Amino acid sequence: MKKVYLYKRFERFWHWGQTILILLLIFTGFEIHGTTNFIGYATAVNIHNISAWIFMVLIVFAIFWHITTDEWKQYLPTAKNMKAQLDYYIIGIFTNAPHPSKKRTLSKLNPLQRITYFALKILLIPTMVISGLLYMYFNYPLPGVEMDSLEIVALVHTFVAYLLLTFLIIHLYLITTGHSTTSNLSAMITGWEIVDDEEVKDIVAEAVEEAGMKIKPIDGEEDEIGHKEIKDLVIEALKETEEKVDKKELRGQKGDHYIHEITNPKSIIKKNKK
């Protein structure tokens, strides 16, 4: 087993920020509907509206981050391994069968997760936002969106809210299905996911391939010469990385020299001069 850094800082911030806001919206939603009575109607409406605006701001930042980092590709639905994933959740998970979908830096979600999160981000959350805005501006209608009744909007908003609550409950259960009961939760807090040694090899190979996709010959350079130079550079980089691994000098490896270099960056400069 090894730990691999899969979840970036903003990804974790967005995940937990979204979680807190959705829980606040669900709690205050029950208060507004009169299902519970802990903080009162007026206070619940105020907190609900503030949380909704913060949620919309977070959505804007999340969209920008997903587009600029290409992370949006993680949510594209795929039918590959779909049946195997269904069989795993229905039977395999109870018989200690191996997980059919391995996590990668470029593919963190299994087929069912991809479809679920795609529907969540493209259908459910936009529906919640739009119906919520119609709720807010019912008494202050914008030109062209005047409404005589909130009945349909209320039904849609409430129905989607219950779907989100259902997703949350299932999500909480699936969190416990990692290498250990708390490993998935820990990964979303620290960013480090526990994976098998074989998975590490695949992740390293994927990282090399991803880096290679970002390198190409300059204009006017002959293809054969340009690609040979790229190949030589990749081989040289791999050899240097292998040497750093052997000497425990690779960033992220634990060791006294690494701690010293982190706490005293000047040591890196001195070592390079030597």
Which of 247 and 185 is assigned the larger pLDDT? 185
pLDDT digits 0-9 by tens, 74-122: 999 999 889 999 999 889 888 888 888 888 888 899 999 999 999 999 9
36's CB contacts (< 8 A; 6+ apart) are 27, 30
d(CA 208, CA 8): 19
Residue with tokens 């639905």: 77
d(CA 179, CA 274): 44
pLDDT digits 0-9 by tens, 182-236: 999 999 999 999 888 888 888 888 888 887 777 877 776 666 777 788 788 888 8
The mean pLDDT value for 125-146 works out to 83
CATH for 2-194? Answer: 1.20.950.20
Residue with tokens 């259902």: 166
Structure confidence at residue 149 (pLDDT)? 84
Q: Can you name the residues that pair with 3 across neighbouring β-strands? A: 194
- Domains of the chain, residue spans: 2-194, 215-273
The 3-state DSSP class for residue 270 equals helix
Structure confidence at residue 221 (pLDDT)? 66
